[in-house]
A = this chain, B = another copy of it.
């Protein structure tokens, strides 16, 4: 007698970048890496709802949040677990559509290694005055903008989840002083100090680099607002690898244009794709990277599926799932 299969549906969206879609080959490869667990699954893969409704009728687990989320408890009566293949779930907040009793997990852990690599570069871009240097190149202007050693400068990393910890590790490798800010203010590895959010205003004047790595929730919207940007040193820079709306970009762009901040590297903008007529494209001392900082271009979904299988191991044993999104906190 064999145990009944666990029905899993993987829902993809063609509107997403290729690396954010799970192909049958990637699914099969992940199953081959986790054969014991994979044997217990019966899986379907779909794109943009093509097989969704039929799959939902029996699915116990869905990977990928469906675009259409209305009446999910009726459409998916057996659903127990929904997994988002992104870390941030701000785009599906509030979670009023989530049926009671369904566990909702995010993809925390899939981004830290790449974020660490990006941040090593991003700190150096600002420190070595690359926003000015690339602008000078475009203007065909030779100007020797020198910089000293980076060691001893201070990084203020706001948010100490998977991304933030990548930013902390990168800062430490470069010899920076690292101050972390998180909800609870609990000490973390590699940070010289960690404070809770209420301490933020007192910390901003010390920072050479302010790194935004918090989830976007109603509570973090415009966390780095105009008054907080005004607390920063004019020689300091901002790096955002979280979500655009956690900072006031209008205020930031104004300060950059006036030289009241030295530079910024923004990996996230609003909306994405950024429209051609957005003034951000041409803002002085601003480097825009197109939301590429934290996703491994070759292995994002392999990493994602490995994380999911690790959680599946907990699921089949009846253990509490990791990465559960708290509907009240929104992350």
Residues in A lying within 8 Å of B, measured CB to CB:
17, 19, 113-114, 117-118, 120-121, 124-125, 128, 130, 133-134, 136-138, 140-150, 173-174, 272-274, 276-278, 281-282, 287-292, 295-300
The secondary-structure label for the interface of chain A is loop
State in angstroms the CA–CA spacing of A133 and B288 once bound together. Answer: 8
Rounded to whole angstroms, the CA-CA distance of A291 and B146 in the bound complex is 9
Identify 10 residue pairs between A and B in the complex whose beta-carbon atoms are under 8 Å apart, listed by A's number: A117-B124, A120-B121, A133-B292, A134-B287, A140-B276, A140-B277, A144-B291, A146-B296, A146-B300, A148-B298
- Contact for A146 among B137, B273, B297, CB less than 8 A: B297
Chain B hits for A173, CB < 8 A: 173
Q: Bound complex: CA of A309 vs CA of B150, how far in Å?
A: 25
Establish whether residues A19 and B137, one from each chain, have CB atoms under 8 Å apart when the complex forms.
Answer: no
Contact B296 A136 (CB under 8 A): no
- Assess whether B276 is in contact with A137, with CB atoms less than 8 Å apart: no
What is the chain B residue whose CB lies nearest that of A16?
B144
Chain B residues, Cβ within 8 Å of A144: 17, 290-292
Do residues B117 and A120 form an inter-chain contact, with CB atoms below 8 A?
no
- Among A128, A298, A300, residue most surrounded by chain B Cβ atoms (within 10 Å): A128
Q: Is the CB of B292 within 8 A of A147?
A: yes
Q: Cβ of A146 and Cβ of B281 under 8 Å apart?
A: no
Contacts of A142 in B (CB 8 A): 272-274, 290
- In the assembly, how many copies of this chain are there? 2
- Residues in B neighbouring A130, C-beta threshold 8 A: 121, 289
Across the interface, do B137 and A287 meet the contact criterion of CB distance under 8 Å? yes
Are B128 and A121 closer than 8 Å at their CB atoms? yes
A235 to B118, CA, bound (A): 20
Say whether B296 contacts A149, CB under 8 Å.
yes
A21 CB to closest chain B CB (Å) equals 13
Would B136 and A290 count as touching, CB distance under 8 A?
Answer: yes
The one of B19, B149, B290 that contacts A133, using a Cβ cutoff of 8 Å: B290
- Further contacts, 19 of them, CB under 8 A, given A140-B276, A146-B296, A146-B297: A17-B146, A114-B149, A117-B149, A118-B124, A120-B174, A128-B289, A134-B134, A137-B281, A138-B138, A140-B277, A142-B274, A142-B290, A144-B290, A144-B291, A146-B292, A146-B300, A147-B297, A148-B297, A148-B298
A128: chain B residues at CB < 8 Å are 117-118, 121, 289, 292
Q: List chain B residues, Cβ under 8 A from A289.
A: 128, 130, 133
CB pair A299 B147 closer than 8 Å: no
Tell me the smallest distance from the CB of A129 to a CB of chain B, in Å: 8
Nearest neighbor of A288 in chain B, beta-carbon distance: B137
Complex interface: chain B residues within 8 A of A113 (CB): 149
Of chain B, the residue at the smallest CB distance from A17 is B144
A289 to B144: give the CA distance in the assembly, Å: 8
CB neighbours of A17 from chain B (8 A): 144, 146
Q: Is the CB of B290 within 8 A of A148?
A: no
Among candidates B124, B137, B281, B298, residue contacting A121 with C-beta atoms closer than 8 Å: B124
- Is there an interface contact between A125 and B121, defined as CB atoms closer than 8 Å? yes
